[in-house]
Structure 1
């Protein structure tokens, strides 16, 4: 298992604490019973939203005229390790790997009910002004909040 965003796999895995559980639905599989390769991104999305809620990071609405920034996915990557099948129960782990001025790198780890790694991933979430479409700095308050939770 080698993804370019993972230097030391054992250390990388140990840094995860938050996860959600999902059961692979029949509609998420192909005619062979394998999970469709696009479904991992849906799982990443739900895990990321639940993780942000857990951290107390607001997910403001872009239609609110007072909102100065909303989190937007700038890129997303998935590396498949092991096949996933209908009815498998997956734990989708999520963590902030790096915090920048206006972005954060989020990492993902999926393990099945046998504690086997099935896929990993990463993505960049950028804080964007919904009126201009330009990136805006993550507030010092938000950075301090994440630091106080020992997330970064």
Structure 2
């Protein structure tokens, strides 16, 4: 489990405090019962949204908001095979907060507490009208930092 964004694997893993569970559906597997390699990105989205709700960072989701959060990049690194009907815990954390972006990290573990895949991705806050990056407010930075 050593992707380029993981400098110290033990410390990296210890920094996760939030997770959500997903159950691997039959439709998410191939003919051998393995998880399709596109599905972790769906799990990342679900976990990211639940993480944002959990930390109280969902004001951008209202129709009145002038700002939205969009995914700028996303990657997944596969560690262990995943099969139909497994229950996975998808851990999420805000690893680095920039001016208008945040680097989100993911860790998926199976029921034996083994890492099965990891990931990271940048999300950027933009103005709905202009499509340009919009800096986080001080309050948003505090929420994202978890302080």
Whether TM exceeds 0.5 here: the answer is: yes
Match of 2:82 in 1: 84
Listed one character per residue, the Cα deviations across residues 28-83 of structure 1 (whole Å, up to 9, x for unaligned) are 00000000000000000000000000000015348x3x422111000000000000
In structure 1, the gaps of 5 or more residues are: none
Which of 113, 116, 130 is 1:115 aligned to?
A: 113
CA distance in 2, matches of 1:52, 1:82: 27
Partner of 1:53: 53
Q: What is the SS of the residue equivalent to 1:45?
A: helix
Q: Deviation above 3 Å: which 4+ runs of structure 1?
A: none
1:66-145 pair list within 5 angstroms: 66-145=64-143
Tell me, in whole angstroms, the C-alpha distance in 2 between the residues paired with 1:32 and 1:59. 42
Report the count of equivalent residues.
147
- The normalised TM-score by structure 1 is 0.92
Q: Does the alignment pair 1:4 with 2:4?
A: yes
Contact 2:97 2:144 in 1 (8 A): no
Question: Structure 1 residue 141: deviation in Å?
Answer: 1.6
Provide structure 2 residue ranges, at least 5 long, that are not aligned to the other structure.
none
Q: Which moved more, 1:52-61 or 1:89-98?
A: 52-61
Q: Is the 8 A contact 2:126 2:133 kept in 1?
A: yes
Instruction: Report the Cα distance in structure 2 between the residues aligned to 1:90 and 1:37, rounded to whole angstroms.
Output: 15
Question: Does the Cα contact within 8 Å between 1:59 and 1:70 map onto a contact in 2?
Answer: no
Alignment RMSD (CA, Å): 1.3
Please give the alpha-carbon distance, in whole angstroms, between the structure 2 residues aligned to 1:59 and 1:145: 12
